[in-house]
Amino acid sequence: MKTILNPQKKDWNKILERPTKKVGDIEATVNEIFTDIQANGDAGVAKYTEKFDGIALDSNLVSVAEIEEAISLVPKELKEAIQQAKENITKFHAAQKTEKVSVETTKGVQCWQEKRPIQKVGLYVPGGTAPLLSTVLMLSIPAKIAGCKEIVLCSPPNKEGKLPPAILYAANLCGVTKIIKVGGIQAIAAYTFGTETIPQVYKIFGPGNQFVTVAKQLATKYGVAIDMPAGPSELLIVADDSANASFVAADLLSQAEHGIDSQVVLVSTSKKLIDAVSIEIEKQLLELPRIEITQKAIHNSTSIFVENDAIALELINEYGPEHFIVCTKNNAFYIENIENAGSVFIGNYTPESAGDYASGTNHTLPTNGFTKAYSGVNLDSFMKSITFQEISKEGIQNIGKSIEIMAAAEGLQAHKNAVTLRLKELL
C-alpha cells in the first residue's frame, strides 16, 4: 500500500480515485451484447456464455436433479453455517416491515400509503474466482419476505457447465423460483429483454464486475430498474493507536482478495499504526491462497495519515466508502457524523466479514462513491409504495377552492372543472 502523509484537500479526489475503467471504455462492448441478445434471445446468450465462460450448454436452466445433487454435495457444517446466516438475515430484514401509514390531512380527506412487492425480480450472483453463495442469501431472503412472486437467479457456469453446489443449495433453501446458468453482461441483457427461457424482470439486483455494473446501468434505459450501481468491492478503515494492527490488516486483506480491481484504504491519525499495519499486511499476505489477486488490489490501495479526526471524517465523507470500519478512541464522533457510507462496522471485534456473511445486515451495497445518493439493499428495495386517497363530500368542499385557484394559476382549466362540477353538485 502507498502511504500518503497529510494530503492537501485539492488532491483528495486524485488520491481516492477508484482503480476502475471509465464507463466509456466498456460501454461499446455492453451495447453490442445488448443489441445481439435483444435480437437473438437464447442464441445470443449461448454465444456469449461460450465466449466468456468457455462452455457450450445444452440448456442453461438448472434442473430439479441438479438441485437435488447439489443438496447432497454440500457438507453438513456448511449447511449449518448457511442456516445460521439465513436466520440472522431473515430477522434483520423482517424487522424492516412497516405498517400502513394513514392520515386525515383535512377534515374529510383521508390519505394513506401501502407497500406492495415488486412482482418479478432478477438476482445476479457473481461467479468467477469467488462464487458468492452469501449473495444468494442477501438477495433472495428479502425478496421472499417482501412477497415477490418471481425470484429468478442468474450466475455464471464453470467449465463443466455447472453452478457451485452451495449456490444451488442456498437458492433452493431461500425460495428462488428459477435458477439459470448465465453470467456477465449477457445475464443482465437477458433480464432486460427476456428470452425464450429467461424471463424479463422489473428490477435487477446484485453486485458484479465493471462490465456487469455498466450493463445494469444500461438496463435502466430500457425501463428496467436496478438496485444500485454496485461494482468492485471497497473498504475504508479509520483507525488510531487504540486499534489492533493485525485486525486492521486482516480486514484490509479480506476485501482486497475479492479481485484485482478491489480497493482498500486506511485513514489514520497515527503514523505508528500505519507502519504496524503495513508490516502485518506483508506477513499475513504470505499465508493467503489468493495472494496474486490480493497483492494487485493492495497495489491499488492507500494508507493516509491525517492530523486529526475532523480532517479524517471530511476525507471519508468525500470518498463515500462501500464498507466503513471505525476503530478509534472516538468512535462516537464518526458514527454520529458519517454521511456517506454503505455499511458501518464499529470496534475491534466487528470485522467486515461479519456483514458479508452472517450478522444479518445486507452486503449488497453501492460502490464507487454512489453511497452519496444510494442505500444498500434492504427490504424496501423489493417493494413499491403506493399512495391512496379518499375524499368525502365534506372533504372536497374543504379543499376544492384551493384546487380551483391553483389549477387556474397553471392555466389548466380541465383540472379546475373536475372540481368545480363536484362543488356545484353539492350546492
Residues serving a catalytic function are 322-323
Residue 299 annotated as part of some ligand binding site: no
Residue 319 annotated as part of some ligand binding site: no
> In the structure grid, which three cell numbers stand for residue 349, read together?
471485534
- Rounded Cα–Cα distance for residues 168 and 85 (Å): 16
In Å, what is the CA distance from 423 to each residue of 15, 106, 394, 406, 413? 64, 17, 10, 16, 15
Residue 415 annotated as part of some ligand binding site: yes
Residue count (the chain):
427
3-state secondary structure of 103: strand
Q: What is the DSSP string of 213-267?
A: HHHHHHHGGGT-EES----S-EEEEEE-TTS-HHHHHHHHHHHHTT-TT-EEEEE
Residue 124 annotated as part of some ligand binding site: yes
> In the structure grid, which three cell numbers stand for residue 80, read together?
449449518
Would you tell me how many other CB atoms lie within 10 Å of the CB of residue 211? 19
Residue 255 annotated as part of some ligand binding site: yes
| CA end-to-end span of the chain | 78
- Rounded Cα–Cα distance for residues 332 and 142 (Å): 30
Residue 186 annotated as part of some ligand binding site: yes
Residue 410 annotated as part of some ligand binding site: yes
Residue 169 annotated as part of some ligand binding site: no
Burial 292-321 (b: 16+ CB within 10 A, else e): ebbbbbbebbbbbbbeebebbbebbbebbb
Contact 152, 198 (CB under 8 A): yes
Residue 330 annotated as part of some ligand binding site: no
Q: What is the DSSP string of 21-78?
A: --HHHHHHHHHHHHHHHHHHTHHHHHHHHHHHHS---S--BPPHHHHHHHHHHS-HHH
Which is nearest to 170 in space by CA: 239, 298, 260, 80? 80
- What DSSP designation does 350 have? -
Would you tell me how many other CB atoms lie within 10 Å of the CB of residue 352? 23
- Rounded Cα–Cα distance for residues 140 and 178 (Å): 11
Residue 93 annotated as part of some ligand binding site: no
> In the structure grid, which three cell numbers stand for residue 344, read together?
458501518
What phi-psi label fits residue 76: left (phi over 0), alpha (psi between -120 and 50 degrees) or beta?
alpha
Residue ranges for the binding site for NAD(+)? 124, 186, 209
